[in-house]
Structure 1
Amino acid sequence: MRFLIIIPAHNEEDHLPFTLDSLQQQRYKDFKVVVTNDGSTDHTPEIIKRYTDTDSRFETVTLQKSAHQPGSKVVNAFKKGLETQDLDHFDIICKFDADIILDENYLETIEKSFSNNPKYGLVGGLLYVEKEGDWVYEGNSNKNHVRGPLKAYRKECFLEIGGLRETLGWDNIDSILLEHLGWKEVVLPELKVKLIKVKGADYTVRESDYYGRYFYFLGLNRFLAYVASLKEAMKIRSVSFFFSIIKAYESCRSKKLEQKISKEEQQVINNKRWETLKKKWL
């Protein structure tokens, strides 16, 4: 199976060499990498050129700088890279971040997993971050969810879910839709991926606004959005945090901001949330 790996990159001069080196060192060699340079103002373009000049498997696409909003920016850059390729030549489509380090057996293990399990639609490892000299599990999500920095899709699954959505929450929307269509999302815990930058550190949006917008663009109805907001507020024991999230959510509703999922897809997502809620509480 052949991999197409798209890597959005904006001002990643300190991290990108580690990611691209780890790809060159893979035991599995049948892949193409497209690095989408999203308006970088540092030495990211020169770093990319170092690889494209010496390895025919590496290509690049250069974009003008886009507004840095969680979700939409990275997916837009991913799509621009994807548009330059003929998907008929590939079997696995990956969206990787520009600040991860893969073990040399990463692609080999992913390929075997897809080859041996026809219903696997999305596969990935687990993210680890460095703390006091040790690499520890990031712990930002449950261990059954493939995180945004290391998505690997079977092409048929990727196309059936309509690709990635240019919106906040895209890396949860894909999981729900593919499961609804009969595909499986699988995390391989033996695959440990090093994350060398803290995610979200360069977002300017307040945390409460982030959650409110996230619940809106995920398509949650009002009741489920309020339940989700309460859950987040309970984590830090803050009533004001709950109302701040709700305020952001209701602001999006009143403005009728464009959502990148259809009414039918919103219903699928809400049904899934209801199922999860009932399993947990009933």
Structure 2
Amino acid sequence: MRFLIIIPAHNEEQNLSFTLDSLLQQTHSDFKIVVVNDGSKDKTPEVIRKYTELDFRFETINLQKSEHQPGSKVVHAFKNGLQTQTLDEFDIICKFDADIILPENYLETIDHAFVNHPEYGLVGGLLYVEKDGNWVYEGNSNKHHVRGPMKAYRKECFLKMGGLRETLGWDNLDAILLENLGWKEVVIPELHVKLIKVKGADYTIKPADYYGRYFYFLGLNRFLAYIASSKEAMKSKSPAFFFDIIQSYERCRSEKLELKISKEEQKVVNDQRWKMLKKKWLKM
């Protein structure tokens, strides 16, 4: 199968070469890479140029600097890269970050998974971060969810679910929507992907505001948003955190901020969350 790999990059001169080198070393070589330079002010364009001059499989496009908002900025860059390509030429569409190191068999293993399992719509590995000189499992999500930095979609699945949404929570929305369409999200645990930079380190948004906005843009109704907020407050052992999240969520509702999902998709999200709630909390 042929891969189209889109890599948004903003000020990644220190990390990008590790990502691109790991792609050059892949045992599966049938791929095309589009690096989207998202308004970088450092030497990221020079790093990209090194690879585009070295290998015909590498391309780049340049965007003007956009506002750094969690979720929407990276998907905006990804979409701009995607629009430059003819999708008929590819079987698998990947959204990779510019600060990961892939094992050399990553694409080959993903390819075999899609070929052998027609029901697979989204496949990936597990993220590992460096701690005290060792690479350890990141642990920011459950081991059955493919994290944002290393998404690989079957093209048919990607198109049927309407692609990626330019919104906070996009990397959870995709899993919900594709599952509703009958596809499977699959994590291959032996694929260890190294994450060089900790996600969220450069976000200016406060945690409570982040969660409030996240629950709103995910399309959660008020009841489920309050339940999710209480869960985060219990994790932090701070009742005040609950009210701060709710305040952020309600502010989004009162401002009627635009959602990137339809009414039908909102229902899918809420039904899925309610199902999870009954299973985990109510044991139903």
- Specify if TM > 0.5: yes
After superposition, give the CA deviation of every residue in 1:158-209 in whole Å (9 maximum; x if it has no partner).
Answer: 0000000000000000000000000000000000000000100111000000
Report the counterpart of residue 230 of structure 2 in structure 1. 230
1:186 counterpart = 2:186: yes
Displacement of 1:259: 0.5
Matches of 2:86 and 2:169, distance apart in 1: 27
1:248 counterpart = 2:229: no
Matched AA of 2:281: W
Matches of 1:121 and 1:234, distance apart in 2: 34
Displacement of 1:281: 2.0
Matched AA of 1:150: M
Considering only aligned residues, what root-mean-square deviation do their CA atoms show, in Å? Answer: 0.3
After superposition, give the CA deviation of every residue in 1:145-166 in whole Å (9 maximum; x if it has no partner).
Answer: 0000000000000000000000
1:110 counterpart = 2:110: yes
Matches of 2:207 and 2:130, distance apart in 1: 23
Matches of 2:102 and 2:130, distance apart in 1: 14
After superposition, give the CA deviation of every residue in 1:109-161 in whole Å (9 maximum; x if it has no partner).
Answer: 00000000000000000000000000000000000000000000000000000
Matched AA of 2:61: V
Moved beyond 3 Å, runs of 4+: none
Matches of 1:264 and 1:109, distance apart in 2: 34
Displacement of 1:280: 1.0
Matched AA of 1:19: T
SS of the residue 1:53 aligns to: helix
TM-score, normalised with respect to structure 1? 1.00
SS of the residue 1:34 aligns to: strand
Matches of 2:239 and 2:112, distance apart in 1: 48
Matches of 1:199 and 1:243, distance apart in 2: 25
Report the counterpart of residue 13 of structure 1 in structure 2. 13
Matches of 1:196 and 1:213, distance apart in 2: 27
Report the counterpart of residue 100 of structure 1 in structure 2. 100
Displacement of 1:99: 0.2
Matches of 1:28 and 1:267, distance apart in 2: 39
The alignment of Structure 1 onto Structure 2 pairs a total of residues equal to 282
1:116-127 matches, within 5 Å, as: 116-127=116-127
SS of the residue 2:11 aligns to: coil
Percent of paired sites with the same residue:
77
Matches of 1:242 and 1:98, distance apart in 2: 34
